Amino acid sequence: MELNINSLRPLTGDGRRLFVETYGCQMNAGDTEIVVAIMQNEGFVYTDRIEEADVILINTCSIRDNAEQRIWGRLSEMRRYRRRKPSLLVGIIGCMAERLKERLVEGENGVDIVAGPDSYRDLPRLVREAGSGGKGVNVLLSSEETYAEIAPVRLDKNGVSAFIAIMRGCNNYCSYCVVPYTRGIERSRDPQTIVAEARSLFENGYREVTLLGQNVNSYSFGEVGFPDLIRMVAEISPLLRVRFATSHPKDISDRLLETMASMSNVCRAIHLPAQSGATSMLARMNRKYTREWYLGRVEAIRRYMPDCAITTDLIAGFSGETEEEHEQTLSLMREVGYEFAYMFKYSERPGTFAQRHLPDDVPDEVKTARLQQIIELQNELSEQSNRRDVGREFEILVEGVSKRRDDQLFGRTSQNKVVVFDRGTHRVGDYVRVRVTGCTSATLLGEEIFQ
Ligand code: 5AD
Ligand code: SF4
């Protein structure tokens, strides 16, 4: 009998327990699943109970200052766990690791391991180094790493919908944004590995995948562009829904809209971050489009898919924002009638173009007041959009049991709105046709249509 050399190799993990805490965006959630895959392969055992952990990794976000402040707070709490288990190793991974580097190992809350978004394959070695009394630090960014062949260990287990990272990094350099510095330059993942991952999810009962990247419209691998990739994934099965995020307005092409419109399992939902409604502000933000261009793209979306939901990101109080520019953001919101928006107060980030060259000169109380106006308007728009859906029919994909009542299920429409309805004989993962009978500001209520 042949010996399997691999099984004789001493594994770094040796049954030690790994806990990972994740902050920030969906990309980070996906990265955590890759990290767990890499560590399991080295003999670590994943636990979802922090008290049991021998190694704690914190996957961090740097997008706004308050995200980082939360993590500093969390680091000071780690002392408690260390006191209980002196052999415990604590690591910071992700964007904040990239931004602050060696500084994170210093001081009384200093950690043992620091790994940037492109050095996760090196984590077992970094843990080994930390375990033998040193500090494990690797924050090298790569122009090639996509973790293409690593099968993520799915941690958020609804078993129905999953995220697939199709690219990493960002080349857009919006003047306020730290992402190009923390996640490095843009690179696309081999489409064959993406399709294989989606197919394997489908075969394991998943019914929805969301293709993720900072700017999915600039996906490009050999001859394959984003519309081709969408088609390849959507052709796996008509029963597999396909979503994607995020689109940059400057790159969303008619070819993509045409492809979406031709395939009913590509969901009718586009996240199209506007950031601001004023052309002068968009120029300061280095967004590379005007208000008119943006509205032209919205019009194109509506032309190809009249029932497509459009959602957005907005920033209040960026450098030099005048009252008039703010008003233009509000008017853009009304003109588009967003279904949903993520809304933020501008937070200056070290190292960005804005921090180096543009003053953070909108007083905090003005930022707060403008953000409040944006939020109130969006609440109205979301409610109006929900009310328009009452009486309409939708096919929903069931994701789980309603939190309020266990004789009800919830699922999502193609437009990504949540609908709650009576369970009947249905199960998670089923497609059900419902008619919307009512709504709250956040949820649609529906009843099954029997035919
Ligand atoms: N301050 C506030 N919001 C920001 N975003 C990115 N950088 C900043 C910043 N410095 C927002 C943008 C982006 C979303 C992911 O976060 O709206 O689309
Ligand atoms: Fe940041 Fe702009 Fe890249 Fe989005 S597109 S990650 S906002 S630099």
Give the pLDDT confidence score for residue 275 in this predicted structure.
Answer: 98
Please tell me if the CB atom of residue 172 comes closer than 6 angstroms to any atom of ligand 2: yes
Region 4-23: mean pLDDT is 81
Ligand 2 atom at minimal distance to the Cα of residue 287? 2
For 409-447, the DSSP string reads: EEEE-TT--EEEEE-TT--TT-EEEEEEEEE-SS-EEEE
SS3 157: coil
Asked if pLDDT for residue 398 goes beyond 60, the answer is yes
Tally: H helices and E strands in the chain? 14, 21
Output the CA–CA distances (angstroms, integers) from residue 196 to 326, 331, 451, in the order listed. Answer: 45, 44, 36
pLDDT in tens, 404-419: 888 999 999 999 999 9
Ligand 1 atom at minimal distance to the Cα of residue 354? 10
Region 243-260: mean pLDDT is 97
Q: Whose CA is nearest to atom 13 of ligand 1?
A: 313
For 9-54, the DSSP string reads: SPPSSTT-EEEEEE-SSHHHHHHHHHHHHHHHHTT-EE-S-GGG-S
Q: Whose CA is nearest to atom 7 of ligand 1?
A: 177
Which of 27, 28, 63 is the best mutation target for the ligand 1 pocket, counting ligand atoms within 8 Å of the beta carbon and taking the most? 63
CA 333 / ligand 2 centre spacing (Å): 20
Q: Whose CA is nearest to atom 17 of ligand 1?
A: 313
Q: Report residue 109's pLDDT band, with 50, 70 and 90 as the boundaries.
A: confident
Check if the beta carbon of residue 166 is closer than 8 Å to that of residue 229: yes
Percentage of residues in the chain with pLDDT exceeding 70?
98
Q: Report residue 7's pLDDT band, with 50, 70 and 90 as the boundaries.
A: low
Which of 62, 186, 215, 284 is the best mutation target for the ligand 2 pocket, counting ligand atoms within 8 Å of the beta carbon and taking the most? 215
CA 255 / ligand 1 centre spacing (Å): 28
Tokens 């895959």 -> residue: 37
Q: Report residue 158's pLDDT band, with 50, 70 and 90 as the boundaries.
A: confident
Element at 96 (helix H, strand E): helix 95-100
Kindly list the structural domains of the chain, giving each domain's residue range(s) and its CATH number in brackets, ordered by start: 17-138 (3.40.50.12160), 161-389 (3.80.30.20), 393-448 (2.40.50.140)
Name the average pLDDT for the chain: 95
Please tell me if the CB atom of residue 181 comes closer than 6 angstroms to any atom of ligand 1: no
In single-letter form, the type of residue at position 194 comes to I
pTM for the predicted model, two decimal places: 0.95
Q: Which of 416, 17, 426 is nearest to 245 (CA)?
A: 416
CA 344 / ligand 1 centre spacing (Å): 7
Ligand 1 atom at minimal distance to the Cα of residue 273? 18
Q: Report residue 2's pLDDT band, with 50, 70 and 90 as the boundaries.
A: very low
Q: Report residue 258's pLDDT band, with 50, 70 and 90 as the boundaries.
A: very high
Please tell me if the CB atom of residue 346 comes closer than 6 angstroms to any atom of ligand 1: yes
Give the pLDDT confidence score for residue 1 in this predicted structure.
Answer: 44
Check if the beta carbon of residue 192 is closer than 8 Å to that of residue 237: no
